[in-house]
Chain A
């Protein structure tokens, strides 16, 4: 299970969204949260494991985050929740707008360290919100991938039954492992909470920290070869106008409102 810890963008003030050079917005001062889709993925994995345990099958859960120390509290929590392995891959450079590099790292980790046959992650995450990492991981591993997954159930040893949102509805499909699942707006959206007793019991478990080099990924070189590059940021102006509509009678005012503003909006609906 791959997850990303991001700044809580909703906790930034209006004034902090400063458009500037391509190095991004200052988010150092806000608290960190789990990407919401990744959170769903982490909990769905636990439920998958619970279901299998009920059938007498053990499913090992490994967690990976591409990031720095901000992921550590979450990795510790995942150990407390019963994850077998919790690791992170550090990078000197920011990989915020580098989905191809992130995918490289994940794929290398899976091939060399993890050897899982099911990779689950959120369908997209900020700040880039590209939604491409799951498919890039799938391409590198040569595995099928489904996105906007909202439900997963284990079927047999090598098959899962998945529900996912597609362009024209809800698709239920059986998928053979190995595969990549990218979680979307799942109903299951919150990670369960470990007790203090659980935390104490797993306090000794080590969090593995890898560098790109450990996994055979030259991060700096791959960043230079990234074909899609952030060139700048623009603010979005959302302040509402508060235009007062004039008129003598309700009928007049309604007429002015309709002609000046509503007609064009309604025609598009």
Chain B
């Protein structure tokens, strides 16, 4: 059975796409497939680099015009009809959702977006994805081929793509038959920033247990050395031991970091709400009964300032180098 991963070089997020696709192909896909990557590029792309990023050895290069998803769908539809590919894999995101959906419609195939994992069967594709606003995982069966699947955003955190010896199967130029576009006056800008706290991937939060302003400042410094963003609980902000813009929780910021270390905060609801979406929570608090201890993934029953300073040294030396 043949599959094709789509690497869309006409939009700027090629590295993330490649990482996601590579990770998914290695760990999210079960099944016997002969895979290739369709690399779309336009004039201004670094073609060589795109090929290097491709998550499979076999690569087909397709030249097209930038930001013309309707054109890409037409090209993919033709490929689907002529090449007998059973599975098309797209990186998650708005572009992937559009391409997967439209391609499935035009080829009378099946679409599934934001797949966590898939399993290839002889007749059906079994997929898992989050449903009910991420409260449950749904198992879906796709029957009609081609199966058009976009992968969940969680795969973006996959490791760096492994380098492969690539082999270019073909290169085509599809810029000739462009046609008119409904889009005019395109302008790409950087997305509005929502602040370092909301976007932080690694966050240290200091609570009232820091003791005083000096304790809070030492924790802030340790956070900086660890390469983490720094936030505080409401009592700390209200005490003016740190600025109000560092406030995490109610009337402050809600963060969703991969790693959150909470120091000297008991984890009362007002603060915990601000960090409960963190993937991994470490609590540092001397009180074993504090709610934060049982609501964390790991806990250290000790003085917060000393622990984070030791941790900062280790991380600075061994991770940040």
**Given A132-B111, A172-B187, A175-B183, A126 and B133 touching (CB < 8 A)?**
yes
Q: List the B residue with the shortest CB-CB distance to A242.
A: B294
* A213–B255 CA distance with the chains assembled, in angstroms: 47
Q: A266, B184: Cβ atoms under 8 Å?
A: no
A174 neighbours in B (Cβ, 8 Å): 183-185
B95 neighbours in A (Cβ, 8 Å): 166-167
**Given A240-B294, A251-B310, A268-B258, A129 and B184 touching (CB < 8 A)?**
no
- Asked if B165 lies at the interface with its beta carbon under 8 angstroms from chain A, I say no
- List which B126-173 residues lie within 8 A (CB) of chain A: 126, 128-144, 157-159
Task: Tell me which of B97, B132, B192, B281 contacts A135 (CB under 8 A).
Answer: B97
B187 neighbours in A (Cβ, 8 Å): 171-173
Q: Is the interface of B mostly helix, strand, loop or mixed?
A: mixed
Chain A, residues 254-267, CB within 8 Å of chain B (1/0): the string is 11011011110111
Q: B315, A262: Cβ atoms under 8 Å?
A: yes
B165 → A minimal CB distance (Å): 26
B194 → A minimal CB distance (Å): 10
Task: Tell me which of A136, A176, A241 contacts B297 (CB under 8 A).
Answer: A241
- Asked if B112 lies at the interface with its beta carbon under 8 angstroms from chain A, I say yes
A12 neighbours in B (Cβ, 8 Å): 135
Q: A173, B136: Cβ atoms under 8 Å?
A: no
Q: B310, A250: Cβ atoms under 8 Å?
A: yes
B112 neighbours in A (Cβ, 8 Å): 130, 228
- Asked if A68 lies at the interface with its beta carbon under 8 angstroms from chain B, I say no
Q: List the B residue with the shortest CB-CB distance to A140.
A: B105
Q: A129, B144: Cβ atoms under 8 Å?
A: no
Q: A147, B310: Cβ atoms under 8 Å?
A: no
Q: A171, B186: Cβ atoms under 8 Å?
A: yes
Q: A243, B307: Cβ atoms under 8 Å?
A: no
**Given A227-B144, A242-B296, A172 and B70 touching (CB < 8 A)?**
no
B131 neighbours in A (Cβ, 8 Å): 97, 126-129, 233
Q: B136, A233: Cβ atoms under 8 Å?
A: yes
B-side interface residues, number (CB < 8 Å): 89
Task: Tell me which of A132, A171, A255 contacts B97 (CB under 8 A).
Answer: A132
Task: Tell me which of A166, A234, A265 contacts B259 (CB under 8 A).
Answer: A265
Q: B259, A170: Cβ atoms under 8 Å?
A: no
Which of B33-41, B207-215, B298-306 is the contact stretch?
B298-306
A147 neighbours in B (Cβ, 8 Å): 94, 97-98
Q: B157, A268: Cβ atoms under 8 Å?
A: yes
A136 neighbours in B (Cβ, 8 Å): 101, 105
The interface centre, meaning the residue of A166, A171, A175, A240 with most chain B CB atoms within 10 A of its CB, is A240
B269 → A minimal CB distance (Å): 15
B297 neighbours in A (Cβ, 8 Å): 240-243, 261
Q: List the B residue with the shortest CB-CB distance to A177.
A: B182
- Asked if A168 lies at the interface with its beta carbon under 8 angstroms from chain B, I say yes
Task: Tell me which of B70, B102, B190 contacts A170 (CB under 8 A).
Answer: B190
**Given A236-B136, A245-B300, A132 and B94 touching (CB < 8 A)?**
no
Q: B315, A266: Cβ atoms under 8 Å?
A: yes
**Given A131-B97, A132-B111, A266-B315, A171 and B143 touching (CB < 8 A)?**
no
Q: A258, B106: Cβ atoms under 8 Å?
A: no
Q: A229, B143: Cβ atoms under 8 Å?
A: yes
- Asked if B89 lies at the interface with its beta carbon under 8 angstroms from chain A, I say no
A166 neighbours in B (Cβ, 8 Å): 11, 93-95, 188
Q: A9, B139: Cβ atoms under 8 Å?
A: no
A145 → B minimal CB distance (Å): 7
- Asked if B314 lies at the interface with its beta carbon under 8 angstroms from chain A, I say yes
Q: B182, A242: Cβ atoms under 8 Å?
A: no
The interface centre, meaning the residue of B104, B105, B132, B139 with most chain A CB atoms within 10 A of its CB, is B132
A131 neighbours in B (Cβ, 8 Å): 97, 101, 113-114
* A132–B70 CA distance with the chains assembled, in angstroms: 15
Q: A144, B182: Cβ atoms under 8 Å?
A: yes
* A100–B311 CA distance with the chains assembled, in angstroms: 52
Q: List the B residue with the shortest CB-CB distance to A35.
A: B133
* A154–B189 CA distance with the chains assembled, in angstroms: 20
**Given A132-B97, A235-B136, A242-B296, A173 and B183 touching (CB < 8 A)?**
yes
Chain A, residues 84-114, CB within 8 Å of chain B (1/0): the string is 0000000000000100000000000000000
Q: A135, B259: Cβ atoms under 8 Å?
A: no
* A136–B282 CA distance with the chains assembled, in angstroms: 44
**Given A132-B113, A268-B159, A268-B258, A167 and B183 touching (CB < 8 A)?**
no
A238 → B minimal CB distance (Å): 9
A103 → B minimal CB distance (Å): 9
Q: List the A residue with the shortest CB-CB distance to B280.
A: A265
- Asked if A47 lies at the interface with its beta carbon under 8 angstroms from chain B, I say no
Q: A261, B182: Cβ atoms under 8 Å?
A: no
Identify 17 residue pairs between A and B in the complex whose beta-carbon atoms are under 8 Å apart, listed by A's number. Answer: A127-B132, A129-B130, A130-B111, A131-B101, A135-B105, A169-B190, A172-B187, A173-B183, A175-B183, A228-B112, A229-B140, A234-B138, A243-B297, A244-B300, A250-B303, A263-B318, A265-B258
Q: Please report B residues at the A interface, Cβ cutoff 8 Å.
A: 8, 11-13, 16-17, 67, 70, 91, 93-98, 100-102, 104-106, 108-114, 126, 128-144, 157-159, 182-192, 201-202, 258-259, 279-282, 288, 293-303, 306-307, 309-311, 314-315, 318-319
Q: Please report A residues at the B interface, Cβ cutoff 8 Å.
A: 9-10, 12, 17, 19, 25, 97, 126-132, 135-136, 138-139, 144-145, 147-148, 159, 164-176, 179, 227-236, 240-245, 247, 250-251, 253-255, 257-258, 260-263, 265-269
